[in-house]
Chains A and B, each alone.
Chain A
Amino acid sequence: MRAGSRVLAAGLALIAFASSGVSMVAAQESEGGITDAQAATLQRVATCLRTTDHLLVSFVIDESTSLTETDPENKRVDAALLALDNFTDLATTEIAGRTPTIEAHVAGFAHAFTPYAGWGDLADANAQDEIRSALEDFADREEGLATDIPTALNEARQVIADRAAELSGGEPCKVLLLFTDGRYELPFFEDSDENNLVYAPDVDPSTDGAQREAERLGREFVCSPNGVAEQLRDDGVVTLTAALATTIAPRDEQFLEALSTGRAGTVRCPGDANPRFGAYLPAEDVDELVPVFNGIVEAVGGGTIGGPESVEGVCVGEPCDAGRHEFELSPALAGFGALLEVREAGISVLVEGPDGTDETADIEPDVDGDTELAGSDLEWEWIDEDTVRLTGELPADARDEWAGDWALTFLADREPATATPPRATLTYFTGLLPQIVGEPELVRGEISTVVIDIVDVSGEVVDPADLGADVTLDATITDPATGASEPAQVTGSGGSYEVQVESVGTGSTVALEASVNTTLQNGRVLAPQSDVFDLPVRAAALFPLLSPARLQLESVRGTGETTAELTITGGADAGGCVWFETPVDVRSAPVSAISAQFVPSSTSNRCLDVEAGKSRTVVVRFKNSESGEGVVRGTITATLLSRETREEESFEIPFSFDLAPPINEAERFGLFLAILLPGVLAPIAFLALSNRRLARFRSTTGVQVARVPVLVERTLTQILRVFADGGATGETALRLRGNEVDPIVLRPDDFTPMGKQKGTHVDAADLTFVARAPSNPFGEVGATVEAHDGLVAARVVGDSRSDESHLPLALPGTWAVALPSDGTPVTGNGLDATLPGGDERQWIRVDLVAFVADGSLGSQLTALRGDLGARLSDVANVLADRVEGIDRTGSGRFRDWA
């Protein structure tokens, strides 16, 4: 089933699912149908979902080896996928402005419990795909050596409790959907070397009767008081067990039913049956699996199941009466579904619109599709080769077109091989829902009138009579603290009703359940659509007001505490006093070490005063000193005293919070390191390797080098270039620019190509450049320079950080000063020329080496000249100091120029 009409059908399903009454009409027990008790169970989930808008569904599926024989065609996978589709539709359909959050989880079990897909929000396409894939994989998961149901239930309970504890914003609804094809058994237990059973740790597998004893303890583990089944119920988990019951002995089937419902025959688990606990839905043969799951999801969706109806046969070649099934769509409906079992591959279904229309739709074999027909939106999806699910959205504005008698005709090109005739299971969805008007609040001891309207799926108020439907409204008031219920008086008709509500019990809220009962013109009674409204109850005006009326606290992981605030507001005309009873009433909890503390504390003798119209807060702190997993529920009893009348009123405020198991710190830290270290070390190792690979000179083709002698005055005022004229007078030419410091001028013809060199070492102008990878992986790769003879210092144009140990791998822009070993400072010129300042000034003769790249030579020389003018003197003098043993750094040591 895909979007479109299926969405509406699902949406309607949600409405009906969420608002179904306590008793379901489609109660006849039949193939593919469900019983009253089963329907009541599903409606419990529906009501919960309507209230919380959040559902957790855990698929727990048998993967024992027996499935290869009992379900060779993997019908269980088809059925599970059908359920997933429906839950997905619910999670993606907005009804009256609300879209529930539905999360699913998939696990398998045999001799162990194995999660295959973590909790995923079905509204998220990726999560949905992951869950679908996990379910599809069960077609190949049938190699388990046991059917350890107790372990599966226990682990699933923990998974659900853990997820619930992670959530904030209220307790979600929880469903455990368990599928198995066999009885609980541990056939290879006595062959195993070790015992991993949590419920039978002391049973030695090697002893006689070990298997029987372990199985006995397993049943006890599930069905004893405070056993797994009871813990599931305390946690609010509804257990739906779908079983392929062909090979299960009655006693074993009773165990499956009892763990779901509480009791089956003589098997108590641990007490009496209650539809609120769960439902057992057996499939009599493998072909019934899909109808059973269909029954579950349709009932969960709140549909009214028409029951399967077989036709006489299949029409060959052209439509005939024998293969025709008629059904009526009433104007009061908003959608329908049809599970069509054609019984054999290759059979198509012809859908005919109502009388007076000639429109038809062809459902071709194994081809999914959708179409519009008579104002309705139809969509169909083949679940397997002989089963197709058809859904129809029935828009309110096209009632005149689609309302009437429809027909389905099963067609084949040739005579079918099977003698079993096709059958159709119709489900009808109504859109007539109860909706409370305003936000009524009850006053204890007074009768309040609550208005309930009948609305359609879009929230519009409608008069059912206009739709040819006969509608009644039932209302029930329930004290959430005790579960005690009583009917409420309802008056009105048409689309609006008034309910007279009086608070019951001592709770701070009452639950008003309103059910819409619809009977169509053709006499079909639809499943009641009900909704539960939580109405706050307060004391009369002369009493203080306490809020909120219900406490849902943050969960506690391991041991610890969780807190909430209660606000006390004085009455409008009179102050009052409030005190809280301790210890609080913990009604169910997975551990016994739960305590509560109120700050400030109070007693009847030392109550908390509050003035008229003023407010104050009280913090309630729940402490859990013992680790557990599950839901803690209970009530806080507060007594209000009116200063005006001196009367007292007690209120029970329900509270709940989840307990989650403590974090395994060692495991967490181990995981932290195991995940983080690869994430950090791998990239860093990659970076280091990358640096090593980068630490090589690329080809120096295109790089030019110049080496020219220069004189640097030691007082750092002048730099002179010595030109070799090559003439008779030798090296005598000086370059001066008046009496000013003259930046070195490098001429283009000073440069010669380096030729092609590459690798880790490059030689040029009696210097060797060595590529270096940094020891710090985040450092820059670079190079150092060494002189073949003497000392060398190097710099890079525009890079003040650069020196002979920190050079880039690319030589252009680099310049160096080489001071040969015999290149000591000279006094006077030592040359055949007159130097500025006379002979008394000291000069250093060094060689300047510079590198440029081909192209843009002018701009490179300009940049070099500027940089040399600024730094050459300093660099040359430092080299000279080094030779002369002068330490200008003050450190007493020289830098290592090498």
Chain B
Amino acid sequence: MTTVEPSADTITPAVHPPRELLLLACGSVAIGAALLLLNTTAANVVGYVLSSFVTIGLLAAYQRVDVGRRNRANYTPQPWLGRFGPFIALAGVLVAAIHVWRIATELAG
């Protein structure tokens, strides 16, 4: 009896998790943090939206796209990548909280 060794087949490029969406989420938090330096109402509102809604929205998009890609034969998982999500979200919430504190201070002043 013999076994059949795997045959060489067409090599297709590996598919990775959508790292670019995580990078965008990081960028969103970074811009939100940078807007803290301006300390204007408009900057605080934009920073709040970027750090919360946009960042978490990008993380959700990452999940969705990643799940979709896992069905593909040439998907190469990068499990460590997904661990960044909560940290990015936490950083976003912290930045958003500072923006919101300033907005609340202005409104309550």
Interface string of A299-319 (1 = CB under 8 A from B): 000000000000000000000
CB neighbours (8 Å) of B10 from chain A are 855-856
CB neighbours (8 Å) of B109 from chain A are 162, 557, 660-661, 663
Contact call B71/A781, Cβ cutoff below 8 A: no
Contact call B75/A812, Cβ cutoff below 8 A: yes
Cβ-based interface call for A671 (8 A): yes
Shortest beta-carbon distance from B35 to chain A in Å: 14
Cβ-based interface call for B5 (8 A): yes
Interface string of B95-109 (1 = CB under 8 A from A): 011001101110111
Interface string of B26-62 (1 = CB under 8 A from A): 0000000000000001100000110011011101100
CB neighbours (8 Å) of A694 from chain B are 63-64, 67
Q: Which of A663, A682, A747, A812 contacts B3 (CB 8 A)?
A: A747
Q: Which of B6, B11, B72 contacts A853 (CB 8 A)?
A: B72
CB neighbours (8 Å) of B55 from chain A are 683
Nearest residue (CB) in A for B62 is A780
Q: Which of A691, A721, A748, A856 contacts B4 (CB 8 A)?
A: A748
Contact call B9/A859, Cβ cutoff below 8 A: yes
Contact call A801/B79, Cβ cutoff below 8 A: yes
Contact call B52/A683, Cβ cutoff below 8 A: yes
CB neighbours (8 Å) of B105 from chain A are 663, 668
Interface string of A647-689 (1 = CB under 8 A from B): 0000000000000110111011101100110011011101100
Q: Which of A721, A725, A865 contacts B6 (CB 8 A)?
A: A865
Cβ-based interface call for B70 (8 A): yes
Shortest beta-carbon distance from A728 to chain B in Å: 14
Q: Which of B64, B77, B86, B101 contacts A798 (CB 8 A)?
A: B77
Cβ-based interface call for A753 (8 A): no
Q: In the bound complex, what is the Cα–Cα distance between A698 and B72 (angstroms)?
A: 12
Contact call A856/B1, Cβ cutoff below 8 A: no
Interface string of B70-83 (1 = CB under 8 A from A): 11111111010010
CB neighbours (8 Å) of A748 from chain B are 4, 6-7
Cβ-based interface call for A857 (8 A): yes
Cβ-based interface call for B22 (8 A): no
Q: In the bound complex, what is the Cα–Cα distance between A74 and B89 (angstroms)?
A: 51
Task: Indicate whether A680 sits within 8 Å of B52 (C-beta atoms), given known contacts A799-B77, A853-B73, A858-B8.
Answer: yes
Q: Which of B4, B42, B67, B73 contacts A852 (CB 8 A)?
A: B73
Shortest beta-carbon distance from B5 to chain A in Å: 7
Q: Which of A668, A749, A780, A812 contacts B71 (CB 8 A)?
A: A812
Interface string of A837-860 (1 = CB under 8 A from B): 000000000000000111111111
Shortest beta-carbon distance from B6 to chain A in Å: 4
Shortest beta-carbon distance from B97 to chain A in Å: 6
Q: Which of B9, B63, B79 contacts A800 (CB 8 A)?
A: B79
CB neighbours (8 Å) of A810 from chain B are 67, 70-72, 75
Q: In the bound complex, what is the Cα–Cα distance between A813 and B77 (angstroms)?
A: 10
CB neighbours (8 Å) of B42 from chain A are 126
Task: Indicate whether A778 sits within 8 Å of B59 (C-beta atoms), given known contacts A679-B48, A813-B77.
Answer: yes
CB neighbours (8 Å) of A812 from chain B are 70-73, 75
Contact call A749/B4, Cβ cutoff below 8 A: yes
Nearest residue (CB) in B for A127 is B42
Task: Indicate whether A671 sits within 8 Å of B60 (C-beta atoms), given known contacts A676-B97, A680-B93, A859-B9.
Answer: no
CB neighbours (8 Å) of B107 from chain A are 667-668, 671
For residues 173 through 217 of chain A, which have their beta carbon under 8 Å from a beta carbon of chain B? none
Contact call A690/B4, Cβ cutoff below 8 A: no
Shortest beta-carbon distance from A555 to chain B in Å: 11
For residues 1 through 26 of chain B, which have their beta carbon under 8 Å from a beta carbon of chain A? 1, 3-12
**Count of A-B residue pairs with CB < 8 Å:** 150
Nearest residue (CB) in B for A744 is B3
Q: In the bound complex, what is the Cα–Cα distance between A796 and B53 (angstroms)?
A: 33
Nearest residue (CB) in B for A668 is B108
Interface string of A691-735 (1 = CB under 8 A from B): 100100010001100000000000000000101010000000101
CB neighbours (8 Å) of A808 from chain B are 67, 70, 77
Shortest beta-carbon distance from B4 to chain A in Å: 4
CB neighbours (8 Å) of B103 from chain A are 671, 675
Nearest residue (CB) in B for A665 is B108
For residues 537 through 586 of chain A, which have their beta carbon under 8 Å from a beta carbon of chain B? 557
Residue from B12, B42, B105, B108 whose CB has the most chain A CB atoms within 10 Å: B108
CB neighbours (8 Å) of B79 from chain A are 799-802
Q: In the bound complex, what is the Cα–Cα distance between A745 and B48 (angstroms)?
A: 55
Cβ-based interface call for A754 (8 A): no
Contact call A684/B56, Cβ cutoff below 8 A: yes
Q: In the bound complex, what is the Cα–Cα distance between A798 and B75 (angstroms)?
A: 11
CB neighbours (8 Å) of A747 from chain B are 3-4
CB neighbours (8 Å) of A683 from chain B are 52-53, 55-57, 60
Contact call B71/A861, Cβ cutoff below 8 A: no
Shortest beta-carbon distance from B21 to chain A in Å: 13
Shortest beta-carbon distance from B53 to chain A in Å: 6
Nearest residue (CB) in B for A121 is B40
Q: In the bound complex, what is the Cα–Cα distance between A799 and B41 (angstroms)?
A: 46
Task: Indicate whether A698 sits within 8 Å of B7 (C-beta atoms), given known contacts A680-B52, A778-B59.
Answer: no
Residue from A745, A799, A859, A860 whose CB has the most chain B CB atoms within 10 Å: A859
Shortest beta-carbon distance from A804 to chain B in Å: 16
CB neighbours (8 Å) of B6 from chain A are 745, 748, 857-859, 861-862, 865
Q: In the bound complex, what is the Cα–Cα distance between A683 and B68 (angstroms)?
A: 21
Q: In the bound complex, what is the Cα–Cα distance between A347 and B104 (angstroms)?
A: 53
Contact call B104/A859, Cβ cutoff below 8 A: no
Cβ-based interface call for A118 (8 A): yes
Nearest residue (CB) in B for A862 is B6
CB neighbours (8 Å) of B96 from chain A are 676, 679-680
Shortest beta-carbon distance from A674 to chain B in Å: 8
Q: In the bound complex, what is the Cα–Cα distance between A100 and B74 (angstroms)?
A: 62
Q: In the bound complex, what is the Cα–Cα distance between A668 and B102 (angstroms)?
A: 9
Shortest beta-carbon distance from A558 to chain B in Å: 10
Cβ-based interface call for A809 (8 A): yes
Shortest beta-carbon distance from B105 to chain A in Å: 6
Contact call A691/B63, Cβ cutoff below 8 A: yes
CB neighbours (8 Å) of B57 from chain A are 683, 686
Cβ-based interface call for A776 (8 A): yes
CB neighbours (8 Å) of A667 from chain B are 107-108
Q: Which of B1, B63, B71, B75 contacts A725 (CB 8 A)?
A: B1
CB neighbours (8 Å) of A671 from chain B are 103-104, 107-108
Task: Indicate whether A780 sits within 8 Å of B63 (C-beta atoms), given known contacts A808-B70, A852-B73, A855-B12.
Answer: yes
Q: In the bound complex, what is the Cα–Cα distance between A860 and B52 (angstroms)?
A: 39
Task: Indicate whether A690 sits within 8 Å of B5 (C-beta atoms), given known contacts A671-B104, A675-B104, A855-B73.
Answer: no
Contact call B9/A856, Cβ cutoff below 8 A: yes
CB neighbours (8 Å) of B73 from chain A are 812, 852-856, 860
Nearest residue (CB) in B for A685 is B56
Contact call A778/B5, Cβ cutoff below 8 A: no
Shortest beta-carbon distance from B45 to chain A in Å: 10
Contact call B89/A778, Cβ cutoff below 8 A: yes
Residue from A118, A669, A853 whose CB has the most chain B CB atoms within 10 Å: A853
Contact call B60/A687, Cβ cutoff below 8 A: yes
Q: In the bound complex, what is the Cα–Cα distance between A796 and B108 (angstroms)?
A: 54
Q: In the bound complex, what is the Cα–Cα distance between A660 and B105 (angstroms)?
A: 13
Q: In the bound complex, what is the Cα–Cα distance between A776 and B83 (angstroms)?
A: 12
Interchain Cβ contacts under 8 Å between A and B, 11 examples: A118-B41, A664-B108, A665-B108, A671-B103, A683-B53, A778-B89, A780-B63, A810-B75, A812-B73, A858-B8, A861-B6
By a beta-carbon cutoff of 8 Å, the part of chain B in contact with chain A is 1, 3-12, 41-42, 48-49, 52-53, 55-57, 59-60, 63-64, 66-68, 70-77, 79, 82, 85-86, 89, 93, 96-97, 100-101, 103-105, 107-109
Query: 8 closest Cβ contacts across the A-B interface?
Result: A683-B56, A810-B70, A853-B73, A668-B108, A671-B104, A679-B52, A861-B6, A778-B86
Seed contacts A812-B75, A854-B73; 18 additional CB < 8 Å A-B pairs: A118-B41, A669-B104, A672-B101, A675-B48, A683-B53, A683-B60, A745-B3, A745-B6, A749-B4, A776-B86, A778-B59, A810-B67, A852-B73, A853-B71, A853-B72, A856-B12, A858-B6, A859-B11
